[in-house]
Structures are given as C-alpha cells and as structure tokens.
Structure 1
Amino acid sequence: MKINKYIMVLGMGLMALTSCNMDEAPTTSVSVEDANHAINDRLQLDAMERGINQSFRACMYGDMSMVDEVMCDGFNATSDFGNNYGPIHRTDVSLTASDDDVESMWSNMYGAIKNYNIFIDNVERYVQIDTLPENQAEARYGQAEARFFRAYSYLQLVRHYAKAYNAATAGQELGVPLVLHFDLKAKPARATVAEVYDRIKVDLDSAALQLNKVVGEARAERPTVDALNMMYARYYLDIKDYTNAAKYAQKVIDTKKYLLSATADEMAAEYTNDEGTEPIMQLPATLTENGSGTNGDYTRFAAYALLKQYGYPGGGLYEEPYFLPSQKLLNLYEDKDLRVDQWFQTGIYTVYLAGRFFKSGVITFNKYEGNPALTSNGVPNGRQHVKPFLISEAYLIAAEANFKAGNVPAAKTALNAIQRARKATLTEATEETIENEWFKETVGEGLRMSCLKRWGKGFDGRAAQPFAAKYGAALTDDPKSSVHVYDLKKLSADDYHWVWPIPAHEFRLNDNLKQNKGYDEN
C-alpha cells in the first residue's frame, strides 16, 4: 500500500486535517521505526485518537461519494464539465487502472486503515504501561473506534473493487487485500470477498464490546451503539442476511432519537444548517479548518455583481455545475415532495452554462449547497458537516430487508415512514417502490452504485432534462451513434465496470496482486 516514510498519526493523520473539536492537535511526526511505540501517555493517546477520527472524516464526501453518483443514472455531464469525472461518467475505454478518481478511493481508505492499524496495535502496548482506569477505558474506547472505522473502510473497498456478495461464489471471488498491522515491507495478496466480509464482522463484533456501552444521540460526533448498529445493518444487507439487516436497522429506528424531517423548516435545518434530527453521526466542522471533501461540484457557486444589477436571480451569485440531475431522477418526485424544494432549484439562482447566463429553466442539484456558517465570503462552497449515517437509511434498509425476507407489512411500514415525512404519496411495498425510494432519498450520498450492484441491476439510459436538448447545456448523444456515453448511456448488470480496477500504481509496488477483469494492469 502507499505508506509514507513518516506517519502523521499524532493528531494529523495521513490526511493532514485539523482537529475534530477535541482540542488543538499537535503536528508531531512519528518515524516508521517508532510507529508501534507512539503512545506512552494520555496526551499521546488523545492526539492519536484525534488522528483516527480525522482519517475517518477524510473518507467522506467529495471524491468519496460523488464518483459513485455520476457513474450511474442520476446525473448528466454539462458542456462545461471539463472532463471532471469523465472516465467514470462515461465508463468507456477511458476508464483505466490509472484513473485518478478510482485511485482516490483506494488510497484514502488504505491510508486511513494504516492509521487505524497503528492505533489498534499501540493500544495493546499502552494498556500494559498505563494502569489508570480512566486512561485504560479511553484507550479501549479509542481502539473500538478504530475497529469500527476499519470495518467501514473495508466495506467501502469491497463494494467498489470486488463483485457484489454472492454466498455461492464469495469464497472464490477476489476481494481486496486485508492489512491488519503496519508493515512497510508487506505485499499482501487479495483476500476473497468472503474473507473481507468476515473481517468486517470480526471488527464490528470487537468494537461492540465497547460501543454497546455508548448511548447514541442525534448528531453524535463519535461512534455510538446506534452507529454500530447501522454498520451491522449495512453489513447484513450486503451479505443478504435480511433477517439480521432488518433487526439492526429497526434497533436504531426504535430508539426514536432520530427523526425524519417533515416540514420545510426541518428540511432546511437538516440539509442547510446542519442542525437537524436525522444524523446518527455528524462529524465536526468549523469555518477555519479544511475539513473533509466537499460536494461543491454539483453547484460550483461564484459571484458576479452585475447579475443583480440586471435582474438575474440569486443576488449576484450564480452556479456553473459540472453535472445536472437527470430527468430520469427528477421524474420520480412529486411536486409536493419536500425534497424537491430543498434539494433541487430552478430560478432561485442564476445558472451559467454553454457560454450564457440563465434566469430559469435549468434544475440544479443543491442538496449540498453548503452551510452558510462554513463560508467566509457569502458564496456557498458545498461544505457541510459530514453525516456518515442518517436515519432515513435505517428505514430504507428495514424496508428492503423485510420485503426480501417476506415480511411485506413491516416493509410497507418502513417505506411509508419516509414517504409520509417527505409528503410523498404512500405506496405499497414492492421491489420497484423500495428501489425508487432509495434513489430519491439517498441521491448524492454515494450509495447509488452499491445499491445497483446489490440488486444485480444496471441502468437503461439516464434521460436528460429538456433544458439540455433545447440549449445544448448538457452533453447529449447522437441517437444514430452505436456508442452512447452520456444521456443515452446504458450499463448492464453484468458490465465489468461495476467492479473498479485495482489502481495501476499498486502493481508497481506489489507483484502479488491480480487485476480485475476488463482492465489492463499497466
């Protein structure tokens, strides 16, 4: 794996982030030789805990979620997208093992795993030399955090770089390398899909010894029993153990601590101001720190004072997005749905595309417009408090898992809870209505790719907004062409692109790896 000679684990982590509201973080480096002797007192323990929390946060948003979304059928590239995310959006021959976007997921996750491994092993030594009960308790909680975070990283890796879990073949299909201890010289081969999922379960079970004692609350900044149960629910849904997936999702729902936004004001509090009741976890962010990646490419705000003077909407602000929500996605919403006004906009801001400004007519995706408290110049920048787990996902998992298990009434109850809160029409629980609700509710959260893989379904086109055809603002395909990569793009369930390539640079460092089907190792 990509491992630096000096490991920034005391407060900074690999990602060089600032502190997580846990006091200021020191910037001391630890040499490779000292990596396994880095915790000698409580100060160093706390600093390293900040480091692993920062590593976890750095694995959210930006490339960590947007790539999954624009690969699928919810978004169309605009004429101004400049080939940003181009290979993954087209999923054609330009998507290779050298692609920066698919490499980013790999390097971020393994960089974080390196920090978790160092911390976990250091705690084993630390608890032998510091016998103060409160210090031992904090060390064990931090170790549980690290195992929880590691489980999250491996779930992300196996979802992207391996085939979807199939009980009949998981023991033979290649997953990703399992790295459980820091070793600069190691050249791990790929474990099987079954072995990776087994490791995720081992880490969650180990974390549970401590996290089961940590009571959850809305917007918790660190892992709790409810975040743990969400991870169990994701794990069991992936391996198609629907009884347990529904069980763990329902545990979170039954706490009644996490409430779906059911009014326009509640939606704004949740998705604009980061003050809602839906997050099972919500990670720290401040105006002065860089934080994690942002989802600002959906909007790309800028200011141009003359727009206001000439009567354009937005008070001088305009958007120049790389991607627009597809008409296929927009058609799923009813006008009365609260998500329409909160997550999509037309006529509120000026939009600049194809060399001209538009006052209305184009619908942009503004779910991640940005928290006003996290910008210093009044221009939205896409920065939000990262929310790794939301209660809406618990309802969706409960709906899908109960339906698959044959408990249709329970599936309908969970499905209708979301629909009722969002002011959408209540429906019966069917495969189609549940899958559509996943699409509508989690758009932009980086879950679309994993959903389609889990369901064993591709997509049949991603029809663009009428605006695109009328003004040429979105890249569109010639219907007469035999190769379609934009709005007419189809991706069958058995297309090899659903499994991303192992990054090319890994093969230069590790000759024990095997590449996924369809990709060149060079």
Structure 2
Amino acid sequence: MKNFKIKNKFTYVALLSIILSVSSCEKYTELNPINSLSEATAFDTPANIELVAAGVYSTAAVGTYNGSTGRGYPFGAAAIEQGEMRGEDMVNLATFYQITYESTYTATTANNINLWSNLYALINQCNILIAGVESAAAKGTITSAVSTQYAAEARFLRALAHHELVINFARPYVDGNGSNVGIPYRTVAVNSTDAVTSEVLVPRGTVAEDYTKILADLDYAETNLPATRSTYAITRATKGAAIALKTRIKLHMNDFAGVIAEGAKLGTSAAAGPYTSAVGNYALTTAADGPFTSFANNTESIFSIENSAAANGGTNGALPNMFGPASLGGRGLVATNPNLYNASFWVTGDTRRTLLQVQQTTTGAKYFFNYKYRDYTNKTDYAPIIRYAEVLLNVAEAYSRTTALDTRALNLLNAVRNRAVPVASQYVIASFASQTALTQAILNERRIEFAGEGRRWPDITRLSKEANFQVAGGGIPAKILVTALSGTGSNWDVTLRPTTAAGKAAIAYSDYRYVWPIPTDELNANPNISQNPGY
C-alpha cells in the first residue's frame, strides 16, 4: 500500500527536475532540463519564476508515459487521440488504440491511467505555480500584477485539465444537471516534501460542482490575462482563450444564453460575417487549412499546445505519426472513417477533402487519413485546443437551440462552412424545414471541421441525453473494424457514397463502459474516492 501512495503522490507533485531553461529559440518546448532549481529557490527570482511557468506548459505538452518517455500527455497529442478513438469518425487500424476504440479498458489500462495521472500532475503544477507567485509577490520578488497574470495562466490550464477529466471519468452535465458524481477538483499545491495531505485525499464532488469551479477559474483567467502576447501568441493563455473555453464549457451545460453572451465578447453578435474579434484579433483564415499550414502563426488559432523537434509526443504519440499515412512517413494507425468521408452532409467539392485529407499510396492499404498534422519527421505540428471556428459554431448552435430558424445561427454556420464548399452547395434559411434540421446541420459541420482534433467524444457526451441529436442509444457509437476496409480504398467514394458496416456494436449510455474507470493507483492511495460503477 505504501508504494501505491508514493507512486500516486508523484502524479500531483511538480518535481522541479522537469522545470526547463529557455533556449535561444525561445520556444518553451525546445528546452533543456536542468536540476539546479530546488523547490526552495524556484520562486526566488523573476527569471526562475518564468522557468517554472514554462515547465507547466511543457508538462501540458509532453507529460510522461508509465513514468518515463512522454507521448504527448495530456494535451500535446494524447487527449486528441483518445477523444477521436472514443468516437466513431476515425477508424483504428491496429492494436495501438484498440482498447480505447473498442471500450475494453479496465482500472489498470495504461492510456486511462496516464491521462488521469498526467492531468493531475499538470493540475498540481498549476497549483504550485499559483502558490509560488503569490508568495513571491508578498516578498516583493515580483509585482502583484505579474503574480496575478501567472496565476491566471495557471487557472486557465487547471480548468482545461479538470474539464478533460470530467468528460471522460464522469457522466455528462446534461444528465441530471450535473447531479452525478464528478472528479476531485484540486486547488492546493502538494510539494515533494509534503506528507500525504487532505488535498491528495480530496473526494469526488458532483459534476455540477466541478463545472462551477471550472467557470470560476476561467472567469479569473479572463479578468487577469492579456488580450494579446508579443511572443507565445497562441501557446500561452490569453483573455480570448479563457472566453473561448467558456463558450465550450457552457455548451456542455446547455447554457445557451451563456454561450451567446461569452461569444459576443469575441465578435459573434455581429449581424453577419465576416466575423472578427476585438479581443485577440481573431478571424477565420481564408482557406480551411490555414490553421494547419501555418500552425504557429495564424488568425484563427486561439490556443494551441506547442510541439517542437526537441519536445513532442514521439513516434508513439505525436499527432502526425498516429494520424498520418505510412506512405508519407506516419505510422498509418488511424484512418478517417469512410462513413464520415462519404456522408451526404459532406458535400462534393468541399475543399476540406482535398486540403485536409490524404490517401495513402501503399498497395493494399489505400485508406484516407487526416492531413492536418504533416511534419512526420520533426513532429512540430501544434496540437489545436480551441479555434475561432469552434467559437462561431458554439454560438451558432446556441442561437439555433434557442430560437427556431435563427438567421444568426445560419450566418455563423455559413462563415465556417462557406470557405470550403461550392457556392451551389451553400445554405440559405430555406434549406431547413425545422429548427432541428438547422441544429443538426451545425452538428454535422462540427464533425467535418474538427475531424482529427479530438472534439468528437466531447460532442457525443454532451448530446447523450438529446433525443434529436444523440448517437444511437445516446452511448458509445458503433465502430468500423479494419477488416471491413478494402485495400483498394473503395470504401471512400464521394460518387457512390457507400456505407461501411460497423463490426463493433454500439454501447448504450446506461452501460458502465460509457465512463472510464478510476485508476487502481488512485483508489489505493485515496480512500475517500470511489470507483465508477461496474469496474
């Protein structure tokens, strides 16, 4: 039992051996580990404090896998990959993601454990940064304003991490307005010299309590973060990132008025497009591939996680390797679902097929793959966390769910969609016979626009109780197995648009596998936390 406690406690502790020094490239992931900072001196100078903050972002990007080499846990790649494998819009081709894809996980499954432990490691580092900068301000090492801004960055990341936990390890907010058991919301720092404290032993609250705390963190971040940054413009938290994330959180709560109000701060209340945001100067890129061909510098990316040649998810985790075809240098592990590719709502001539999908040329495996991440050699593609396109579609859905055939919803939908589809296929309000039809079009657009960005599972879970919009049974969707795919690539055909049968049956919402199990290590270390039913 003692060993379990030590191992579990490690996941909460910001060991300063992973605090990183700034390189000449000034990229927080292109950093060399140093051991010269102790926990006693890490907040003694402004320069050291900046190193601590850089280390927190690096933890968000790279993380560890089973305590060693990082695989992009939690947000450098892993959260996106797991989000796609829980959904149905990509097809697992090998054993690499089979457990997640086919929902055969247990309380000792590595991917589940590592997502949990790395998210809480990030959360604890955020808490250590908050406590450290508050102490540094009290000593006069940094000003109160500087301290507050660092704390706001930490609280943004803390909110993001807790939300990733709650959408995987708990029932959605829409089930009973958050009355189900949630996840532990940790706000107190635990250092490596601390004994096992009440913070480590914090119990699970309710989902509603988690959402309340997430929003409180994001409100603080919005108030205290800068609108723009001259460096790390999209890879460190900003006011716009906090607002954008609130549109997502409130959409999960079906707080449509709240989504609309937050979106208005980012320019979504304009009568019609093109939409731009006074906060952060966000705007859609002209072409749909803009955020991915220039991932480090574009108007649409609001917050991304930086990857670099020096620090990334590696061969076994980086997005281009996992989602890319072997014929281009990827590993060919995850293909685009042909049923999404052929879907009637993904119209012929949509440039997202030609710009953001690519066919493998390998004989016998001419499948189509996601082409958003394409640096197969250096693995430098940033991991997109939230884009302006999502804000527009979040608000579009909120308008559509609030008012029947709302032209504001149509205009926001068209702003995203029309940059990719032929003029003859563009929507007008008469294209929709009902409020439900317009809302469904917005949800369909999300599946096309965010393919390969990990948004499918979050959408499935937030729609689980919506009879009009849920997947079959409101649960985990049926999955295509690789044995159903032809090596000629004939499954992907926008002329004939064939349907490929699923070989793995859907799992009902009521099934215990809908929610991931709490890792055994956590249960052994924390007697105040309960396992999810069924495990």
Q: Report TM bin, short chain.
A: 0.7 to 0.9
**Could you tell me which residue of structure 1 aligns to residue 172 of structure 2?**
164
2:48 aligns to what? 44
Alpha carbons of structure 1 residues 388 and 29: separation in structure 2 relative to 1, 3 Å: farther
Partner of 2:10: 3
Quickly say closer, same or farther: Cα 1:301–1:8, change in 2 above 3 A: farther
Aligned to 1:261: 285
Could you list the runs of 5+ residues in structure 2 that have no partner in the other structure? 1-7, 63-73, 268-275, 465-469, 492-500
Tell me how large the CA RMSD over aligned residues is: 3.3
TM-score if structure 1 supplies the norm length? 0.79
Q: Tell me, in whole angstroms, the C-alpha distance in 2 between the residues paired with 1:5 and 1:109.
A: 9
What is residue 447 of structure 1 aligned with on the other side? 455
1:75 to 79, 85, 90: 90
Q: Which residue of 2 aligns with 1:373?
A: none
1:390 matched to 2:387: yes
1:283-310 deviation per Cα after TM superposition (whole angstroms, max 9, x unaligned): 44443444785213444566xxxxxxxx
Q: CA deviation at 1:516?
A: 0.9
**Residue type of the alignment partner of 1:287:** A
3-state secondary structure, aligned to 2:412: helix
Q: Which residue of 2 aligns with 1:363?
A: 368
Name the counterpart of 1:479. none
Deviation at 1:123, TM superposition (A): 1.6
Are 2:119 and 1:109 aligned?
yes
- State the TM-score, normalized to the length of structure 2: 0.77
The whole-number CA distance in structure 2 between the counterparts of 1:219 and 1:445 is 20
Q: Which residue in 1 is equivalent to 2:523?
A: 507
Letter in 2 for 1:255: S
Matched residue, 2:34: 27
The reply on whether 1:149 has 2:149 as its aligned counterpart is no
2:109 corresponds, among 80, 83, 99, to 99
Change (3 A) 1:492 1:250: farther
What does residue 402 of structure 2 align with?
405
Q: Kindly indicate whether the alpha-carbon contact (under 8 Å) linking 1:458 and 1:491 is maintained by their aligned counterparts in 2.
A: no
Deviations 1:355-413 (A, max 9, x none): xx34x84322222222xxxxxxxx54654023322111111101111112226222111
Distance of 1:178 and 1:431 partners within structure 2: 33
CA distance in 2, matches of 1:251, 1:462: 39
After superposition, residues 273-292 of structure 1 pair within 5 angstroms as 273-274=294-295, 275-290=297-312
2:97 is aligned to 85
Question: Which secondary structure state, in structure 1, belongs to the residue aligned with residue 114 of structure 2?
Answer: helix
Residue 291 of structure 2 aligns with an amino acid whose one-letter code is E
Number of residues paired by the alignment?
A: 462
1:240 partner SS: coil
Query: Any conservation in 2 of the 1:462–1:489 contact (CA below 8 Å)?
Result: yes
Q: Is the 8 A contact 1:262 1:422 kept in 2?
A: no
C-alpha contact (below 8 Å) 1:344/1:363 kept by paired residues:
yes
> Which residue of structure 2 aligns with residue 376 of structure 1?
none
Match of 1:234 among 248, 263, 277: 248
1:247 aligns with 2:261: yes
CA contact (8 A) 2:17 2:34 kept: yes
Deviation at 1:461, TM superposition (A): 3.4
8 Å CA contact 2:203–2:528 kept in 1: the answer is yes
Instruction: Label 1:463 to 1:6 Cα distance change in 2 as closer, same or farther (>3 A).
Output: closer
Give the direction of change, closer, same or farther, for the CA distance of 1:496–1:61 in structure 2 (3 Å limit): farther
Kindly tell me: are residues 465 and 336 of structure 1, through their superposed partners in 2, closer, same or farther at Cα, counting changes over 3 Å?
A: farther
| CA contact 2:76–2:312 (8 Å) conserved in 1 | no
CA shift at 1:139, angstroms? 2.1
Whether the 8 Å contact between 1:395 and 1:418 is mirrored in structure 2 is yes
2:514 maps to which residue? 498
Query: Which position in structure 2 is the counterpart of 1:321?
Result: 332
- Residue by residue over 1:418-466, the C-alpha shift from the partner in whole angstroms, topping out at 9 and shown as x without a partner, is 1111225333462321111111111111111110111112345345799
Give yes or no for the alignment of 1:426 onto 2:426: yes
Relative to structure 1, is the Cα distance of residues 88 and 165 closer, same or farther in structure 2, using a 3 angstrom cutoff?
A: same
Give 1:499 shift: 1.3
Query: Residue 336 of structure 1 is aligned with which of 330, 349, 367?
Result: 349
